[in-house]
């Protein structure tokens, strides 16, 4: 049975800002999944449900999350930077800072992914590895929360005001293509079902 995380089925590529917000919901969800398993199991043996949860975490952050970053850096941020609307011009330093944060967050996330992959392969982590994974959780979650809050509150709200309908359509089409989806059928791909971004 399909599952829904965050935004409902009305969010498709024809609503790119809604899709981006939905991706934020999914990021928060999978970070919580990681934290739940890591804290509950520490670095010991994994039960089947734990293994499935960690595999879903890895799949999301390795396959879908990079597309979300590309959506922002290749489709949204450039359009905002091209805008001459005062609110968009004022946002340019924030966009540069957010792009830099993507790199910083990715470094922490990559280390966490490597430890999770090792945990899945070995069945458990060595104590120093498990402690390191637990130590990565607060900066990873905290960085994402702050980052996404700025995007949700500032970037997406400015984009909703200054980008034209044709720019939104073009952005949604790019996002669909990025996922191998025919942009002419993009309305048929609601944000529901197994997380794929």
Domain boundaries, the chain: 16-181
| Matching CATH number, 16-181, of 2.60.120.620, 1.20.1250.20, 1.20.120.520, 1.10.3720.10 | 1.20.120.520
Mean pLDDT by 10 residues, the chain (197 residues): 42 86 96 97 95 97 96 98 98 98 97 98 96 98 98 98 95 93 70 46
Q: Give the number of other Cβ atoms within 10 Å of residue 12's Cβ.
A: 21
* C-alpha pair distances (Å), 4 with each of 33, 44, 66, 145, 196: 15, 30, 20, 20, 11
Question: Shortest CA distance to 151 belongs to which of 182, 82, 107, 105?
Answer: 105
- Sign of the Cα pseudo-torsion (62, 29, 153, 16, in order): positive
Q: What is the reported pLDDT for 189?
A: 57
Of residues 39, 67, 66, the one with CA closest to residue 53: 39
Residue found by looking up tokens 């004022």 in the block? 90
Quote the pLDDT of residue 186. Answer: 62
> How much is the pLDDT for 194?
38
Rounded-to-integer distance, Cα 197 and Cα 126, Å: 32
**Contact residues for 21 (Cβ-Cβ < 8 A; gap 6+):** 6, 7, 11, 152, 156
Identify the pLDDT of residue 59: 97
Give pTM, 2 decimals.
Answer: 0.87
What is the predicted pLDDT for the residue at 3?
39
């Amino acid at each position: 049975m399909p599952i829904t995380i965050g935004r409902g089925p009305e969010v498709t590529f024809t609503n790119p800002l809604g899709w981006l917000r939905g991706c934020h919901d999914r990021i928060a969800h999978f970070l919580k999944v990681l934290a739940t398993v890591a804290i509950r199991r520490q670095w010991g043996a994994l039960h089947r449900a734990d293994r499935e949860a960690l595999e879903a975490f890895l799949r999301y952050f390795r396959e879908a999350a990079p597309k979300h970053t590309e959506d922002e850096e290749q489709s949204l941020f450039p359009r905002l930077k091209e805008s001459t609307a005062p609110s968009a011009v004022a946002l340019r330093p924030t966009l540069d800072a957010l792009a830099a944060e993507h790199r910083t967050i990715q470094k922490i996330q990559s280390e966490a992914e490597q430890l999770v992959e090792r945990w899945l392969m070995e069945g458990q982590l060595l104590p120093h590895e498990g402690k390191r994974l637990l130590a990565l959780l607060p900066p990873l979650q905290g960085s994402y929360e702050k980052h996404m809050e700025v995007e949700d509150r500032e970037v997406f709200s400015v984009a909703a005001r200054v980008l034209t309908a044709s720019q939104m359509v073009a952005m949604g089409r790019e996002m669909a293509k990025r996922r191998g989806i025919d942009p002419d059928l993009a309305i048929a791909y609601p944000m529901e079902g197994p997380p794929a971004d």
